[in-house]
């Protein structure tokens, strides 16, 4: 048997090349997520239940990337997470949340809290606008009172189709934060808020859809309700779906891709994970718009230990990228990224984007609560094939968790862990993008495609790796 050599990020370095770049701001990180979706930075937050829900997806979209909402939620919950992302950056909210005037203040408070909003439009039974209720109206009010008794009735409105400049003028003139849009019959057709206009100006690099809303993706499985889930997610506004399976080079994955593409031919579909050129080609032939590469390389993944299977990440990316170039399909490197240098190597090897998990776990925007251990703060981070995640997934699918289940029936390929609390993800993304920009300049490249053309890798020994780290000093 002939043994092929496999390399990962720590086995190689990029050879520095002549550069005419005088500032890393001269570099351009625009790249393709999939066949028809482009991003302003090459980072994707992982579809893991300790990494990406709406808060993370909003933050990374504002930075220019995209988040993939994990699938370990009910269909309604996952679709709602997608809606939250879309509403967070819409200059014009097309279907604003509303409530009828005969509901109680308690109902309004619960609804607003569940939807994470600060105000509600008040409508009659025919969906005609009759008022607006905000935090100011609800403050200190009796929770049993009716909304119609405390709402603001004289609402400043505009006609549907108003320009943003005219809307800004109205918001400023009347010192209001919300401007409902109505038609000639008084029916609600949309909402413009001062916050959304400000966000639009504050995040010029944000990745947006054709309506100016943040880009967001969502994951689906390969069994059961995947078609129903796909339909709900697309209706909610998901820009891409990710077929999420540990072993993507399988009949289950290929069949799911074909079924989704047949039902929703215009859907941007990503599938994985795979680690070989043949796996990439088979998914591309099935109709995917991007392929996710990486088996066993994640920080909490133990697939290689449990199954003995996998390919070192750099080799996997390079092999799959060759096929991707032939088919015109982008590659996503998923796993093994611990530093901006690893991300730069993955991009230089042919990946168009890099999916990150552990680096984003532990941030304010990742799901979960902060834990304290020995005076230090942490957040839980777990693999989606871990024991806890597998049991949680079954409870979502069946609606209950049975303690009669034999835990030996679960063969975990991931672990549960804690990662240090890191603060806001914005700072992490700045460090990642800054490192990649510097990496481009060392390769003498202004863009990611140019770096892929210029890139020259050199293998290094363990001594070379040790030399790359801080050494012969006492770190502060």
Place of tokens 């990611």: 448
pLDDT greater at residue 260 or residue 475: 260
Strands 269-274 and 290-293 turn out to be parallel
100 SS3 class: strand
pLDDT at 304 over 90: no
Over residues 63-92, the mean pLDDT reads 93
Q: Please write the tens of the pLDDT for every residue from 424-440.
A: 999 999 999 999 999 99
Q: Per-residue pLDDT for 214 more than 50?
A: yes
Nearest CA among 252, 283, 251 for reference residue 269:
283
Which segment of 127-136, 232-241, 401-410 scores lowest on mean pLDDT? 401-410
- How far is 76 from 55, CA to CA, in rounded Å? 17
d(CA 420, CA 412) in angstroms, rounded, equals 23
Q: Which of 267, 301, 320, 443 is catalytic?
A: 301
**How much is the pLDDT for 238?**
98
* Top-confidence residue, 43 or 174: 43
Cis peptide before 273 (omega within 30 of 0): yes
Chain mean pLDDT for the chain: 89
pLDDT of residue 245 exceeding 90, the answer is yes
> Which of 61, 193, 91 is CA-nearest to residue 134?
193
Q: What angle do CA 44, 46, 48 make, to 5 degrees?
A: 160
Instruction: Name which residue leads in pLDDT, 46 or 148.
Output: 46
Please give the residue that has the higher pLDDT: either 106 or 410. 106
Q: Mean pLDDT, to the nearest integer, of 313-322?
A: 97
Contact between 217 and 67 (Cβ < 8 Å): yes
Averaged pLDDT, 233-249: 96
Least confident span in 28-37, 95-104, 221-230, 269-278? 95-104
pLDDT at residue 88, as a whole number: 86
Q: Binding site for IMP: which residues?
A: 299, 334-336, 357-358, 381-385, 413
pLDDT band at 412 (very low <50, low <70, confident <90, very high): low
**Is 301 marked active-site?**
yes
| The pLDDT value given to residue 263 | 97
Token readout for 342 is 């690893």
* Sheet of 119-123, strands arranged across: 98-100, 119-123, 129-134
- pLDDT exceeds 70 at position 402: no
The more confidently predicted of residues 145 and 262 is 262
Q: Which of 44, 24, 23 is nearest to 33 (CA)?
A: 44
What is the band of 403 on the pLDDT scale with cuts at 50, 70, 90?
Answer: very low
Task: Give the tokens for residue 146.
Answer: 């009716």
- How confident is the model at residue 312, as a pLDDT? 95
Which is more confidently placed, 301 or 443?
443
Share of the chain above pLDDT 90, in %: 57
Binding positions for NAD(+) are: 244-246, 294-296
pLDDT in tens, 348-364: 999 999 999 999 999 99
Confidence bin at 283 (pLDDT 50/70/90): very high
- Number of Cβ within 10 Å of residue 116's Cβ equals 11
407 has a pLDDT exceeding 50: no
Any idea which residue has 């088996």 for tokens?
295
Higher pLDDT: 446 or 306? It is 446
Flag the least confident range among 59-73, 188-202, 353-367.
188-202
Rg (alpha carbons) of the chain, rounded to whole number: 24
Domains along the sequence of the chain with CATH: 9-89+213-468 (3.20.20.70), 98-194 (3.10.580.10)
Cβ neighbours of residue 218 closer than 8 Å, sequence gap 6 or more = 47, 68, 69, 71, 78, 81, 82, 233, 238, 240, 241, 242
Q: What's the pLDDT score for residue 276?
A: 97
Binding-site residues, in ranges, read: 244-246, 294-296, 298-299, 301, 334-336, 357-358, 381-385, 413, 467-468
What is the torsion angle, in degrees rounded to the nearest 10, for the CA atoms of residue 258, residue 264, residue 266 and residue 270? -50
Query: What residue has token string 């790249």?
Result: 31
- Average pLDDT estimate for 157-166: 88
Say yes or no to pLDDT of 411 above 50: yes
Q: Which of 114, 107, 202 is nearest to 151 (CA)?
A: 107
The confidence score (pLDDT) of residue 451 equals 97
Provide the pLDDT for residue 415: 67
Tens of pLDDT, residues 366-379: 998 888 888 888 88
pTM comes to 0.85
């Amino acid at each position: 048997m002939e043994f092929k050599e496999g390399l990962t990020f720590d086995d190689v370095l990029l050879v520095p090349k002549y550069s005419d770049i005088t500032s890393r701001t001269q570099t351009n990180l625009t790249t393709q997520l999939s066949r028809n979706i482009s991003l302003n930075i090459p980072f994707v937050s992982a579809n893991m239940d300790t990494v990406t829900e709406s808060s993370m997806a909003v933050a990374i979209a504002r930075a220019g990337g995209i988040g993939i909402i994990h699938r370990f939620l009910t269909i309604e919950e996952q679709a709602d997470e997608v809606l939250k992302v879309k509403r967070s950056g819409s200059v014009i909210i097309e279907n604003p949340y509303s409530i009828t005037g005969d509901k109680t203040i308690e109902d309004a408070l619960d609804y607003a809290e569940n939807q994470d909003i600060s105000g509600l439009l008040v409508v009659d039974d025919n969906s005609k606008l009759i008022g607006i209720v905000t935090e100011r109206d609800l403050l200190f009010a009796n929770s049993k009172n009716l909304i119609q008794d405390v709402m603001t009735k004289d609402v400043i409105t505009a006609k549907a189709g108003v320009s943003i400049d005219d809307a800004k003028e109205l918001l400023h003139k009347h010192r209001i934060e919300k401007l409902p849009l109505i038609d000639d019959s008084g029916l609600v057709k949309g909402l413009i808020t001062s916050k959304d206009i400000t966000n639009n100006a504050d995040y010029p690099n944000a990745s947006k859809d054709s309506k100016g809303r943040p880009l967001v993706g969502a994951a689906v499985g390969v069994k059961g309700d995947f078609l129903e889930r796909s339909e709900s997610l697309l209706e909610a506004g998901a820009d891409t779906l990710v077929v999420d399976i540990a072993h993507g080079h399988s009949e289950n994955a290929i069949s799911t891709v074909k079924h989704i593409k047949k039902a929703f031919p215009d859907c941007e579909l990503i599938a994985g994970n795979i680690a070989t050129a043949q796996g990439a080609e088979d998914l591309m032939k099935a109709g995917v718009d991007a392929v996710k590469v990486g088996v066993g390389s994640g920080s909490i993944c133990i697939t290689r230990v449990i199954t003995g299977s996998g390919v070192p990440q750099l080799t996997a990316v390079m092999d799959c990228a060759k096929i991707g170039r032939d088919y015109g399909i982008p590659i996503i490197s998923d796993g093994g990224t611990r530093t901006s240098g690893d991300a730069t190597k993955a991009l230089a090897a042919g990946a168009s984007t890099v999916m990150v998990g552990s680096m984003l776990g532990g941030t304010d925007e990742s799901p979960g609560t902060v834990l304290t251990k020995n005076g230090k703060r942490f957040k839980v981070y777990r693999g989606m094939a871990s024991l806890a995640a597998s049991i949680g997934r079954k409870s979502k699918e069946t609606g209950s968790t049975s303690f009669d289940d034999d835990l030996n029936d679960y063969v975990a390929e991931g672990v549960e862990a804690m990662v240090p609390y890191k603060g806001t993800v914005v700072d992490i993304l700045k460090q990642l993008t800054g490192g990649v920009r510097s990496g481009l300049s060392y390769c003498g490249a202004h863009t990611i495609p140019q770096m892929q053309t210029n890139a020259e890798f050199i293998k290094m020994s363990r001594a070379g790796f040790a030399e790359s780290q801080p050494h012969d000093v006492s770190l502060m």
